[in-house]
Structure 1
Amino acid sequence: MIKPVVHDPAILSQVAVPATKLDANTVTDLLDTLQANSANCVGMAANMIGVNQQIIVVQMGPVAVPMLNPKIIKQQLPYQTTEGCLSLTGERPTKRYKQITVQFLDRQFQSQQQTFSDFIAQIIQHEVDHLAGILI
């Protein structure tokens, strides 16, 4: 179900709690909401739709990939950039890494580990920051 996007910094600044198998509906809601906002958005965190769970979805080309309880375990090649966010107005400077390795659970709650680069890595870092209550 498409959910309204949260803009309240007090809600967005909360640290998310680990997702469980009971959070399958949140994954569906995030995917639906990302699709509905695809003209302006390439990733979402659950707190952006008012759910305080460690779940993100990331648009990777034609496929949106959900990640539950994602943890960045390696990061390389730092750089400075500016980013926007569907929950916030304007763009802000931030530090990101060109390449990251992420451990996460997929939609079937199977453990995954994958390395991402460039723009996909940047999206994941932005969304993982959301889960930590970090706003750009």
Structure 2
Amino acid sequence: MTVQKIIHDPLSLSQPAAKAAASDRQAAQDLLDTLLAHRESIDGLPPAAGLAANMIGVNKAIIAVNAGFLPIVMLNPTIVKRSGHYLAEEGCLSLPGERPADRYEEITVKYQDMDLEEHEQAFTGFVAETIQHEVDHCKGKLI
């Protein structure tokens, strides 16, 4: 298990991520390990619902999200469908405080798993909100 330090530099977090490839599997595993370590509060940070690779210093389009009991890792996630717009108040492990964010209750995401197999999956509620937050990180968008 390789737990990485969470990055707090807004400049590095504002850079759009490059497409992930097979050579990024270790970065994806490190991201998953770091998310699992942050299920509970550590290092003075609140528990994490999700992480994007740029939050551990890897500028690749990779996210990891707690989706119920099991986390899911997505390489090159793209939201292809959304419905049910609402305004959320979100926090982020990389930034202090909470900020407003436009979100959608239901989304469909195309992504690759850690074996680079393609998937398309629908998500709702808090998991959907978390995925949207992490996809924003991949775009270099901070809340």
Provide TM-score, normalisation by structure 2: 0.94
The count of aligned residue pairs is 136
Kindly provide the amino acid, as one letter, of the partner of residue 101 in structure 1.
T
Unpaired runs of 5+ residues, structure 2, are 41-46
Q: Which residue is 1:132 aligned to? A: 139
Kindly provide the amino acid, as one letter, of the partner of residue 5 in structure 1.
I
Residue 37 (structure 1) shift: 1.1
Kindly provide the amino acid, as one letter, of the partner of residue 111 in structure 1.
E
Q: Segments of 4+ in structure 1 off by > 4 A?
A: none
Report matched runs for 1:2-13 at 5 Å.
2-13=3-14
RMSD between aligned residues: 0.6
Kindly provide the amino acid, as one letter, of the partner of residue 124 in structure 1.
I
Q: Which residue is 1:22 aligned to? A: 23
Q: For each residue in 1:15-43, what CA deviation from the matched residue of structure 2 results, as whole angstroms up to 9, or x when unmatched?
A: 00000000010111001111111121010
Provide the C-alpha distance between the structure 2 equivalents of 1:35 and 1:110, rounded to a whole number of angstroms: 22
Unpaired runs of 5+ residues, structure 1, are none
Provide the C-alpha distance between the structure 1 equivalents of 2:141 and 2:106, rounded to a whole number of angstroms: 20
Provide the C-alpha distance between the structure 1 equivalents of 2:33 and 2:112, rounded to a whole number of angstroms: 19
| Aligned counterpart in structure 1 of residue 104 of structure 2, from 97, 103, 115 | 97
Q: Which residue is 1:33 aligned to? A: 34
| Aligned counterpart in structure 1 of residue 86 of structure 2, from 50, 57, 79 | 79
Q: Secondary structure at the match of 1:14?
A: coil
